[in-house]
Amino acid sequence: MSNLSITSLKNRINKRVEIEKFKSDFTDIGSFIKKKRKELNVTQDEISNGICSVSYLSKIENNQIIPNDFYVKEIMEKLDIEEDIYSKSIKDKEFIDRTLKAFFYMNDNDLEEIYMEIKDIEHNVVINLCKLGYTVYFNRNDNSQYVMMLENLINNMSNLEVKIYLYFAALYFIQNEKYKVALELIVLKSRIVASNEMLDAMFFELSYYVKQRLLIKNCSTEDYYSAMNSYNNYHNMRRIIILALHKAKFLSKENPSKALRVLNTIKTNDLSNDIDSFYYYIKADTLFQLGSYQEATLNLKHISETSEYYLQKMILLLKICIIEEDFATIENIKEIVNSYKPKKCEMRSKINYHFIIQQDKADQKEYLRDIAIPFSIKIEDYDSLFIYTNHVMDICFENSRYKEAMQYYKKYQKEIKKVQTILH
């Protein structure tokens, strides 16, 4: 999705808000029942009589509950709505509810099961939305087709479905290292009036992560606590742990003591296999920042060669060996890292490695100027951009090149202002 597409999406949503246009394929069951009842000029008493209580019907109409299919069928028949319309509507709503719940609890098996049920269904907006959720969750290569296709169909979605689309699309852009675009989508969702506590909690988590990545840290705290409160209410331990790990990761360099306190609240027995390496790497990096090199090394031993954190492990070991002047191990690590073929998501670590091994100040400056800083801007890694900018400015100051140092600082500030523009 280009900048032009983001503008187009904003225009569609703004127009939608202005005219309060709701979708016409009836997946928003409650709103549709309410609208149809008022068109027929009948009361809730008349419709609910012999089917359910008036209060139950009221909750259905206001989308406060997921209604029993039997009651919906009876109510729809009383409203003289054709069966194929409401049966499709009920089934679609079931798929989107199941997808959202599986996403919230990070249940891989449920998402696989849902996908197997819907993979052959075509030309259905809600089903394609579920497919988008499946592809971004597992980071599949075919996720872009759903992002682009669904962008043009938001007027055929309910408000809740638009909000779900924005969440899935934001995840897609994060996976493709387009954090500013993701932030635009997160900001855009506030224009959509639709409440779902599970979805709202995941949006808060995403907002916290993206703002931290883009160094908008002051306004991310509320997002963190809002997400954490919801996860606690639902006893969602997996998301609680992952959110706490991200907090520790962002704190590890600016306040490692606080990061360690966060990590110490996590019990290693609660870690699932896919996040244990994440935990041990963050703990090792935090201990490294505190100067506890031996403890850091012990934690790194938990990370295997098959782990997605293996390259980061070796680079952190390299930093420790450089400080301890263990030259034999330094050469061994260099040999391993030089032969390692990084995935796209690991290029950030490889760039950091090449910066670390530059010994001459002139070579460091050249590498920072030509590779590290431009790459950090490209992948919108403002944390690394901040670190690299400070390094290159220090080198400039050491050589009394103050004007050049200020040019790097202005370039950094220019990037930060781009983010501020999105928020305002």
At 33-64, the pLDDT tens digits run: 888 889 889 999 999 999 999 999 998 888 77
> Are 206 and 175 in contact, with CB atoms under 8 Å apart?
no
The verdict on residue 349 lying in a domain is yes
Shared domain for 295 and 394, answered yes or no, is: no
Shared domain for 374 and 341, answered yes or no, is: no
Shared domain for 347 and 362, answered yes or no, is: no
Q: pLDDT value at position 238?
A: 94
Cα pseudo-dihedral 367, 371, 375, 376, rounded to 10: 20
Shared domain for 292 and 396, answered yes or no, is: no
DSSP state of 190: G
Q: pLDDT value at position 240?
A: 96
d(CA 335, CA 86): 64
Residue 235's Cβ-count burial label (10 Å; 0-12, 13-18, 19+) is exposed
Single out the residue of 292, 272, 284, 271 nearest to residue 310, CA to CA: 284
Q: pLDDT value at position 27?
A: 45
Q: pLDDT value at position 338?
A: 94
Shared domain for 329 and 366, answered yes or no, is: no
Shared domain for 342 and 292, answered yes or no, is: yes
Of 305, 328, 355, which residue constitutes the final position of a domain?
A: 355
Q: pLDDT value at position 1?
A: 54
The verdict on residue 183 lying in a domain is no
Rg of the Cα atoms in the chain: 26
The verdict on residue 284 lying in a domain is yes
Q: pLDDT value at position 209?
A: 96
Of 327, 355, 383, which residue constitutes the final position of a domain?
A: 355
In which residue ranges of the chain is pLDDT below 50?
A: 2, 4, 20-27
> Are 302 and 276 in contact, with CB atoms under 8 Å apart?
yes
Q: How many domains does the chain have?
A: 2
The verdict on residue 190 lying in a domain is no
Residue 62's Cβ-count burial label (10 Å; 0-12, 13-18, 19+) is exposed
The verdict on residue 346 lying in a domain is yes
Shared domain for 382 and 424, answered yes or no, is: yes
The verdict on residue 277 lying in a domain is yes
Shared domain for 243 and 349, answered yes or no, is: yes
Of 298, 321, 355, which residue constitutes the final position of a domain?
A: 355
The answer to whether the pTM exceeds 0.85 is no
Shared domain for 299 and 316, answered yes or no, is: yes
Q: pLDDT value at position 23?
A: 39
Single out the residue of 306, 24, 13, 301 nearest to residue 158, CA to CA: 24
Shared domain for 241 and 320, answered yes or no, is: yes
Residue 419: give the domain boundaries: 358-424
Shared domain for 277 and 308, answered yes or no, is: yes
pLDDT in tens, 187-220: 999 888 888 999 999 999 999 999 999 998 888 9
d(CA 256, CA 90): 50
The verdict on residue 48 lying in a domain is no
Q: pLDDT value at position 4?
A: 45
Q: pLDDT value at position 82?
A: 65
Shared domain for 308 and 368, answered yes or no, is: no
The verdict on residue 264 lying in a domain is yes
